[in-house]
Chains A and B, each alone.
Chain A
């Protein structure tokens, strides 16, 4: 899915640029001592009234920042990462991702996969139940998935099922029927699913929120009110929602009914909503938050602290030149773009949020053959920053074109995007001698311009829908609707479609490896920039913090905490 929307956070109050937070606060501290006096004088009697929330002190409770309002806890219709962070903890799918992002059985006890990798038969675990006491059955899965697919539900994430499950797309598009969807609970304990094509990563997808089960009786009984408050929900996950207000946050308490409760050490998790980063860091420092993402100057301030960590998501930001435009039909110019800007400076000086520079298109961590990640397996496919070589390539390119045209760089209306655009502009002007105009558009409009093919140079972000290189690679197929840059190479298309049919995982990975080399190294069809990262402050009491790099999010049942 497009990642930019996901990253958009509530627009906070911004300080004057060029002044660090500490300077700002010290400076102000003297000037408004009067106000401080007024405040303390006015309420000295009640000064101990604070400390309503926060779990920093207790070893069994963690408090973290959801950062935005909880919009929708109905797993069929939800889309935002705040809600899915909560759902991941209070609900359980057939499988759950472990600390290494590998699928392990959760509500399912086991699965039988047919020889052709198309038929899956799940056995539901004995004794698993909903928080109202009902057993979790195979029917709950069939019901939930079909509810997602039902066109009347209007589920935005239906594609995550329709792309894989046979008959699902037809039903979702209104042409087929629910009975023809190849999901069948043959009895309470058995769920049979048929896929459209062999998809070794699909098992991991059953942990995705859209694939979570729902109890038909309960959902129908609640009707319109389903999931609107904590009593209008039942849970089958490691936690239950003990308190929930959409704009104030959610408290999750460990479930007594969860089958694997012995391996869930955190007793209680409080999700607070703090949009302002300065406030959140103050709360973290005072112990009211145990985990907090940071960026910008805070990264500078904390990067040597033992509490500083970074996580990298399965997400790539990559530049594309529109190949309908003459200037980007030129291979030398495309290659010059790849190596014509300092990627390390981009991540370390501009982004400052823990994102690493990209040596290839598929991000770190995505599964490759065997135990290897795809990136380890393929290695770097994009050459390093090299201003001299870039300049000569660009010179050659413009000679071939017969002139040095002004290139329009499409950017969108977001402070980070503006910074990136300005950085690229100055780098390309300096290193290549290119003439770059920046065109800033609202994000929706940027997407529209791209889909109309109405741009020259642009960059995009993509986060994995599932743990496999294919979720990235198929975007550059000639036929993909996301291929707005009109990159087309028959050899690439052939490798991708072959990989889609290939049953042997090693052969499949080799095809994808070759495809990535063609795309990035040979054709310079894209210039991968960086992988989305996050810089975090984590209290030492939390000895293991897990934020799944795709799909779910913060899986608190996997966190470990000092007793």
Chain B
């Protein structure tokens, strides 16, 4: 197992290296420049380019950047005049992560309950209700749900703060808006997987052996239903935890989702690269965790 993890880590570094390289050259190929002011004299432009090392050949810039990144320095933002990208990410990522993790928890628990209940009471009112909720959760996008919640819960009824990120109460609506989708996805997958597993021979065997209902469902059915869930859930979790531009914009939350999109719009090369590295690392780590989780859930899957 340890050797497996070590090998995966090496592959992870190679993948990251490729991602950084590709992103580096793509971002430089973006049309426009970070200093687009047309009153800028050629001299000042040269100075600015020199200041950020943009005057050198691309390959030199690339080498310098890679060296910097190897030392854990993601460079300085052009957009936020000279502010270190690492600092910006470290300030904003935790905000997104907090809201995201909370959303995952808020989504996972009801999702599991709905899914299990629907499967165990197949074709009953509970099943139909859970399915309806799942369909609604998937169909209503967060950019529709969030303004509606904000208008009614925040503004009309005054139950929760309308926007900003000043206290825990401020984080509830954004998390819920994100969680609805998680509820829907989880409920749907758990339900269909459970239904499939419930029909398997080993479940019948377990029942025949006289195991209690709880033991059959808990140890045999649920556990075996979770594998496909892990497959869909992890990328979803990573996506949510690394920030949603829609939710951040609507609730005026200083998270990292906005930063990523904005940096591309304004040709802020260092920030584009910095956030890309951040995302990629997260994703690659998530896949590693996913593979390890598989092994824990299903001993038949051997990591070798």
Contacts and interface: CB of A to CB of B under 8 A. Distances in A.
A50 B170 contact: yes
A1 interface: yes
Interface residues of A, number: 72
B172 A278 contact: no
Given A28-B144, A49-B167, A279 B246 contact: no
B43 A151 contact: yes
A248 B41 CA distance: 33
Interface string A508-552: 000000000000000000000000000000000000000000000
Interface in A205-240: 224, 227-228
Interface of B is mostly: helix
B196 interface: no
A275 B249 contact: yes
Contacts of A227: 81
A12 B161 contact: no
A35 B176 contact: yes
Contacts of A69: 80
A25 B133 CA distance: 20
A156 B39 contact: yes
A487 B248 CA distance: 47
B162 A53 contact: no
B4 interface: no
A285 B38 contact: no
Given A29-B148, A36-B149, A156 B44 contact: yes
Interface in A397-450: 442, 444-445, 447
Given A35-B145, A154-B47, A156-B39, A52 B164 contact: yes
B167 A10 contact: no
B273 interface: no
B150 interface: yes
Given A42-B106, A49-B167, A151-B43, A5 B162 contact: no
Given A46-B168, A52-B167, A172 B136 contact: no
A246 B48 CA distance: 22
Interface centre among A1, A13, A155, A273 (most CB of B within 10 A): A13
Chain B: number of interface residues, binned into ranges: 35 or more
A542 B170 CA distance: 27
Interface string A145-171: 000000111111111000000000000
Contacts of B110: 38
A278 B162 contact: no
Interface string A57-101: 000000000000101101001110000000000000000000000
Interface string B159-191: 111111111111011001000100000000000
Q: Which 4 A-B pairs have the closest CB atoms?
A: A52-B166, A49-B169, A50-B161, A72-B81
Interface of B: 31-33, 35-41, 43-44, 47-48, 51, 79-83, 88, 91-92, 106, 110, 133, 136, 140, 143-145, 147-155, 158-170, 172-173, 176, 180, 246, 249-252, 254, 258-259, 262, 265
Given A5-B37, A78-B81, A247-B258, 7 more contacts: A2-B39, A11-B265, A13-B143, A39-B149, A43-B172, A47-B169, A156-B39
28 contacts: A1-B39, A2-B37, A5-B37, A10-B258, A25-B151, A28-B144, A29-B148, A35-B149, A36-B153, A38-B176, A39-B172, A42-B176, A43-B160, A43-B169, A46-B172, A49-B161, A50-B169, A52-B164, A52-B167, A71-B81, A154-B48, A156-B40, A156-B44, A159-B39, A224-B82, A247-B91, A285-B155, A444-B36
